[in-house]
Structure 1
């Protein structure tokens, strides 16, 4: 719950803010280059990302720690300490997913009627007020749908992400439900126990999605169903 709720807050809000900023860029070439660089990490597997993370952030021979030591600082256990691992896990997840989320929101922003911006300009609105009073209300249905879908993963999370970044020094945060299902079912052969845990996770996720959808409809949004 700690990993997934923290990840939901960061990985859900940062793409929205980033999309709003990119949408304000007037240079077409610069805008396209930034979009390409941002969503490229989405196509990397977590095995590759995990290997890169340990090469860059490793305590013994990581490139970042080598640079910190050369600058006169002490090595930081980015992936070898529970608290440091938590922040590294969240930062890597945001880096990997924010580009793809940004593309989705930019696609929604492309459907905003330009006349709304022209009317806001006539009323004396600046860029920030246009974003707050025009852009955000127009993409609100997309935000609500993606939020409802994200709530279904709160009890589960990403098995590949945790598995690629885990190590023996950070078992406090890496013993998640998908990891337990893998250990019980695949490693230990306790299929009934693993199935029960996986079913529990799926049922809770479905309940969260249905409740969130009902709340969204009560608030006047379209929702999923």
Structure 2
């Protein structure tokens, strides 16, 4: 009897709050969509720009190497005061400036892309997934894969090391050769030829072996990354 009275006295559990009206839900979803759409478009634009800049950098590096190799030929054929030599020298200097600016712009674009991705995740409520994907992008395997060079590029670098040693040999020959006032000794002439051959070989290897191999490797990596789902790219 006492138990029954106690059960009757116990308060009933509170009722759950009523669901929000359908109009409010639709308005909230529309506002979230309006906030996410510009960020998504900006992220895609930044991703496209960041993907195109490496190819621009490779193209500029190829032009610099080709201009430097052409300078060696122009200095031998027409002299260092010729119009051909000065034209190639100007191309090399402008190419270096464009390459440096491209690297700076690429770093800025990547930083801005990370900021946009974080804001997108914050607005959409998926910050935990963003942190997980960001931490997974810098694992030991991903960093090692980033610095893994194709075999053709490695062979090109080995050839460049050989040409560099040849250039050092030419410099040593020039240092050990007797200097004659008002003329060039035979040893200095031989050293000049050795240095020019080494410089031409280094930059020709970069043009026709190293840079094409790196471009092909980056292109293949981009094709593989397209198969992985991403927020923007």
| Fold shared by both chains (TM-score > 0.5) | no
| Structure whose alpha-carbon radius of gyration is higher | 2
| TM-score with structure 2 setting the length | 0.28
Query: Counting helix residues as a fraction of each chain, which structure ranks higher?
Result: 2
| TM-score with structure 1 setting the length | 0.28
